[in-house]
């Protein structure tokens, strides 16, 4: 994937706090113009990566380029990236209207019409103090701020984690409308696949501070198979088949395998895999090993 | 950005301005009385108003704790720095504007307080001493520099500690330690001292002399005509013998005898005339500290904060 079509390019990115690595050896590419889901368990390094991508954090090692530039380097670069942090922080003592004023004054590319229309449609009272908004309303306000600055890249860190199911659905629908309308690149993280699978067409799965797998949803589904058969050792698999996860019962072995070639071994019952099972297989990461050579460059190469 | 900085700060600024106005009104209303009535005849109320000067120690400490420490710590604690630092403005500019707005209010209010109090205290200072010890830091322009230093200290501690309450406590403690360490260990060594002779004050009837009036006396000893130090016990015997004095002789007689024998005090001091020069140095010192801490804060939020 070339730099022109990437919104984010990270190479060997790592962040260490004291002796603990929050993120390590992260090499990935976020394709431009897509809605990208960053999925991983809590503490997997998602927030760390996103904070580096918006310039809030400086990496300990490795390089990252966002829209072709160093993240957060100057005001012009900051203007190109919209960000909603986890829990959608807003100033509790500022009213909704004052938040829009904040956005207008701090962003030269501010789209006041968009902001006003959104606030109206969401039924937010401009005179209401942000501290008295519900969690869902607060998220919507924060998203409005991030959208109305008209970013080329919109980054949302766990945008729905604190919302109830109804607010969650509304928020995601809203986000899909935005993505269709304005077509910025959107990256959203979640610890639950179900939050993002309906809106994302590209997935990056992180676990233990590393990228486990990344790719378009369709490619991921086409490139993985669920194999069921008599119990056997997964070590004896052909070289073009990478075992992602193995589980055994007394007589049966079930494996998630990454391969684009047909499975020829007649002892296996081969079936398609659902996205949920696929992501869970990577998140649980029961098999650690280098990916096969033909894996797309999106996949992290352990150092 | 100025809008946001002012919007965040205006309530505190208004409260501080109101308090300053109250103090100013009290000072202006009472000044005529203390300037026309002898100090001995002033009522306790008027004398106790001098304690307002301790406000010039307390105000900088509070500015550091309540304006400086939360500046970054409260944003970081609430996570709102992630909101404001991802708008189209660098965090360096954000901090510069925030500090500028708060520093401007700090300078105006502390300068008004301190200069008014300096003027108000003139009747006391004519007979008293404003260059020495505590009074020095409650007069002139130094309190403005203390306040800016405290503000910078609080801001840096807030950035490093990241939680408002510990940062506030640290700022209070740190400010007072630096402020009084400076007073004890640095201020006496900034300007050269002056050595002067004056009649011995050992016996109570002499109250210094014009050359030492209002001075900050850092050390003094009593010597005889030849310049040899004499101590309390031997001096009494010496005088009693030389002038036939007894225990019943008056203070005046003892002093006259000491004068006759050439016994006098040699004092090392900062004369009252050094007041404004010393103020300028003290101010420069604390402004330099403030600038250093502010620079450290800019470095810190660029490299260390998320």
Give ipTM to 2 decimals: 0.85
Please answer yes or no on whether A89 and B4 come within 8 Å at the CB atom: no
Q: Does A82 touch chain B (CB under 8 A)?
A: yes
Please answer yes or no on whether B90 and A142 come within 8 Å at the CB atom: no
B298, two tokens: 């800019």
Residue A295 has pLDDT above 60, yes or no: no
**How far from B34 is each of B44, B70, B126, B129, CA to CA, in Å?**
12, 40, 12, 17
C-beta of residue A258 within 8 angstroms of C-beta of residue A275: no
Q: pLDDT band at residue B212, thresholds of 50, 70 and 90?
A: confident
Tokens 């970054």 — which residue?
A: B72
| Three-state secondary structure call for residue A85 | coil
Q: Does A159 touch chain B (CB under 8 A)?
A: no
Q: Does A56 touch chain B (CB under 8 A)?
A: yes
The per-residue pLDDT for A288 is 46
What's the DSSP call for residue B23? H
H helix runs in A28-125, sequence order: 46-53, 75-80, 96-106, 112-121
Q: Does A142 touch chain B (CB under 8 A)?
A: yes
Backbone angles phi, psi at A105, to 5 degrees: -80, -25
The per-residue pLDDT for A291 is 43
- Write the pLDDT tens digit of every residue in A77-131: 999 999 999 999 999 999 999 999 999 999 999 999 999 999 999 899 999 999 9
The per-residue pLDDT for A172 is 85
Q: Does B1 touch chain A (CB under 8 A)?
A: yes
Residue A3 has pLDDT above 50, yes or no: no
Tokens 């000067």 — which residue?
A: B53
Locate the DSSP E strands across chain A: 6-17, 20-31, 35-39, 61-66, 81-84, 153-156, 185-190, 202-207, 210-216, 224-230, 242-248, 252-258, 269-272
Best of B88, B159, B304 to mutate (most A CBs within 10 Å, chain A)? B88
Q: Are strands A61-66 and A202-207 parallel, antiparallel or unpaired?
A: unpaired
The per-residue pLDDT for A248 is 86
Which chain A residues are Cβ-neighbours of B3 within 8 angstroms? 101-102, 105
Q: Does B10 touch chain A (CB under 8 A)?
A: no
Best of A23, A66, A85, A138 to mutate (most B CBs within 10 Å, chain B)? A85
Backbone angles phi, psi at B30, to 5 degrees: -100, -10
H helix runs in chain B, sequence order: 2-36, 44-48, 55-62, 69-78, 81-84, 91-127, 133-136, 142-161, 164-181, 232-243, 251-261, 275-303
Distance CA A263, CA A178 (A): 41
| Three-state secondary structure call for residue B79 | coil
Strand partners, A269: A228
Orientation of helix B91-127 relative to helix B55-62, angle to 10°? 170
Average pLDDT over residues A47-70: 94
Average pLDDT over residues B286-303: 95
Tokens 């990256």 — which residue?
A: A187
Backbone angles phi, psi at A253, to 5 degrees: -125, 135
The per-residue pLDDT for B63 is 97
Backbone angles phi, psi at A94, to 5 degrees: -95, 145
- Write the pLDDT tens digit of every residue in B55-81: 999 999 999 999 999 999 999 999 999
What's the DSSP call for residue A95? B
The per-residue pLDDT for A302 is 43
Distance CA B50, CA A204 (A): 69
Closest-approach residue (CA) in chain A for B93: A75
Average pLDDT, chain A: 86
Among A56, A79, A101, select the one facing B88 at the smallest CB separation: A79
Average pLDDT, chain B: 91
Of residues A258 and B150, more confidence is placed in: B150
B201-209 long-range CB contacts below 8 Å, 24 or more apart?
B201/B265, B202/B232, B202/B235, B202/B258, B202/B265, B203/B251, B203/B254, B203/B255, B203/B258, B204/B251, B204/B255, B205/B250, B205/B251, B205/B252, B205/B254, B205/B255, B206/B255
Q: In the sheet that A61-66 helps form, which strands lie side by side, from edge to edge?
A: A20-31, A6-17, A61-66
The per-residue pLDDT for A178 is 72
What's the DSSP call for residue A5? G
Q: In the sheet that B194-199 helps form, which strands lie side by side, from edge to edge?
A: B194-199, B264-270, B216-223
A260, two tokens: 């684009």
Whole-angstrom Cα Rg for chain B: 25
CA A200 from chain centre, in angstroms, equals: 9
Please answer yes or no on whether A89 and B90 come within 8 Å at the CB atom: no
Q: Does A148 touch chain B (CB under 8 A)?
A: no
Q: pLDDT band at residue B119, thresholds of 50, 70 and 90?
A: very high
C-beta of residue A217 within 8 angstroms of C-beta of residue A201: yes
Give the A:B interface size as CB pairs under 8 Å: 75
Which chain B residues are Cβ-neighbours of A75 within 8 angstroms? 88-90, 93
Please answer yes or no on whether A56 and B83 come within 8 Å at the CB atom: no
Q: In the sheet that A269-272 helps form, which strands lie side by side, from edge to edge?
A: A242-248, A252-258, A224-230, A269-272
Distance CA A202, CA A219 (A): 9
Neighbours of B108 (CB within 10 A): 15
Residues 277-296 of B with CB under 8 A from A: none
What's the pTM value of the predicted model, to 2 decimals? 0.88
Query: Nearest-CA neighbor of B261 among B283, B240, B246, B285?
Result: B240
C-beta of residue A163 within 8 angstroms of C-beta of residue A171: yes
Q: Are strands A6-17 and A61-66 parallel, antiparallel or unpaired?
A: antiparallel
Which chain A residues are Cβ-neighbours of B159 within 8 angstroms? none
The per-residue pLDDT for B233 is 74
Angle, vertex CA A53, rays to CA A49 and CA A59, nearest 5: 65
Q: pLDDT band at residue A292, thresholds of 50, 70 and 90?
A: very low
Task: Provide the shortest C-alpha distance from residue A34 to chain B (in Å).
Answer: 21
Q: Report the share of chain B in percent with pLDDT over 70.
A: 96
Angle, vertex CA A153, rays to CA A148 and CA A156, nearest 5: 80
Please answer yes or no on whether A105 and B1 come within 8 Å at the CB atom: yes
The per-residue pLDDT for B200 is 75
CA B286 from chain centre, in angstroms, equals: 11
Backbone angles phi, psi at B116, to 5 degrees: -60, -45
Query: Nearest-CA neighbor of B71 among B152, B186, B11, B131?
Result: B152
Q: B274: which residues sit within 8 A by CB, 6+ positions away?
A: B131, B191
Query: Nearest-CA neighbor of A118 among A144, A137, A95, A94?
Result: A144
Backbone angles phi, psi at B235, to 5 degrees: -65, -40
- Write the pLDDT tens digit of every residue in B129-143: 899 878 999 999 999
């Amino acid at each position: 994937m070339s730099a022109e079509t990437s919104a984010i390019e990270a190479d060997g990115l790592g962040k260490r706090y004291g002796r603990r690595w929050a993120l390590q050896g992260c090499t990935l590419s976020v394709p431009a113009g897509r809605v990208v889901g960053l999925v991983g368990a809590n503490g997997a390094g998602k927030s760390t990566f996103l904070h580096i991508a918006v310039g809030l954090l400086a990496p300990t090692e490795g390089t990252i380029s966002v829209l072709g530039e160093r993240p957060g380097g100057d005001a012009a670069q900051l203007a190109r990236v919209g960000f909603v942090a986890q829990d959608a922080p807003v100033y509790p003592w500022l009213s909704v209207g004052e938040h829009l004023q904040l956005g207008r004054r701090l962003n030269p590319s501010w789209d006041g019409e968009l902001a006003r229309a959104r606030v109206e449609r969401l039924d937010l009272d401009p005179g209401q103090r942000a501290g008295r908004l519900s969690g869902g309303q607060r998220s919507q306000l924060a998203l409005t701020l991030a959208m109305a600055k008209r970013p080329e890249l919109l980054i949302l860190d766990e945008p729905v984690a604190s919302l109830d199911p109804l607010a969650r659905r509304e928020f995601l629908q809203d986000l899909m409308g935005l993505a269709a309308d304005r077509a910025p690149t959107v990256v959203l993280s979640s610890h639950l696949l179900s939050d993002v699978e309906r809106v994302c067409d590209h997935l990056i799965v992180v676990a233990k501070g590393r990228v486990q797998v990344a790719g378009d949803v369709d490619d991921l589904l086409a490139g993985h198979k669920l194999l069921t058969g008599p119990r056997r050792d997964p070590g004896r698999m052909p070289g073009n088949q990478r075992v992602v996860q193995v589980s055994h019962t007394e007589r049966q072995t079930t494996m998630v395998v990454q391969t684009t070639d047909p499975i020829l071994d007649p002892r296996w019952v081969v079936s398609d895999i659902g996205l949920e099972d696929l992501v869970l297989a990577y998140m649980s990461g029961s098999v650690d090993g280098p990916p096969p050579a033909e894996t797309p460059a999106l996949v992290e190469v352990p150092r | 950005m100025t809008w946001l900085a002012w919007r965040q700060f205006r309530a505190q600024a208004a409260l501080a301005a109101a308090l300053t106005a109250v103090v100013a009104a009290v000072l202006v209303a009472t000044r005529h009385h203390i300037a026309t009535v002898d100090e001995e005849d002033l009522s306790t109320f008027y004398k106790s108003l001098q304690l307002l000067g301790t406000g010039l120690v307390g105000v900088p400490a509070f500015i550091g704790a309540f304006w400086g420490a939360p500046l970054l710590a409260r944003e970081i604690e609430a996570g709102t720095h992630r909101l404001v630092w991802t708008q189209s403005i660098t965090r360096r500019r954000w901090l510069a504007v925030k500090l500028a707005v708060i520093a401007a209010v700090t300078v105006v209010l502390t300068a008004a307080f301190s200069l008014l109090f300096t003027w108000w205290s003139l009747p006391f200072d004519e007979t008293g001493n404003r260059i020495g010890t505590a009074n020095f830091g409650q007069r002139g322009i130094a309190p403005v520099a203390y306040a800016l230093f405290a503000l910078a200290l609080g801001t840096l501690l807030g950035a490093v500690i990241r939680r408002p309450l510990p940062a506030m406590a640290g700022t209070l403690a740190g400010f007072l330690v630096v402020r009084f360490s400076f007073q004890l260990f640095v201020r006496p060594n900034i300007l050269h001292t002056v050595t002067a002779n004056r009649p011995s004050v050992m016996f109570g009837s002499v109250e210094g002399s014009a050359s030492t009036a209002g001075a900050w006396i850092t050390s003094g000893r009593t010597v005889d005509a030849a310049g040899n130090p004499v101590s309390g016990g031997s001096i009494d015997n010496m005088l009693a013998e030389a002038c036939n004095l007894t225990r019943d002789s008056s203070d005046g007689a003892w002093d006259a005898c000491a004068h006759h024998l050439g016994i006098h005090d040699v004092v090392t001091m900062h004369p009252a005339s050094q007041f404004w020069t010393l103020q300028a140095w003290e101010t420069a010192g604390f402004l330099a500290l403030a600038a250093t801490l502010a620079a450290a804060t800019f470095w810190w939020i660029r490299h260390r904060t998320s």
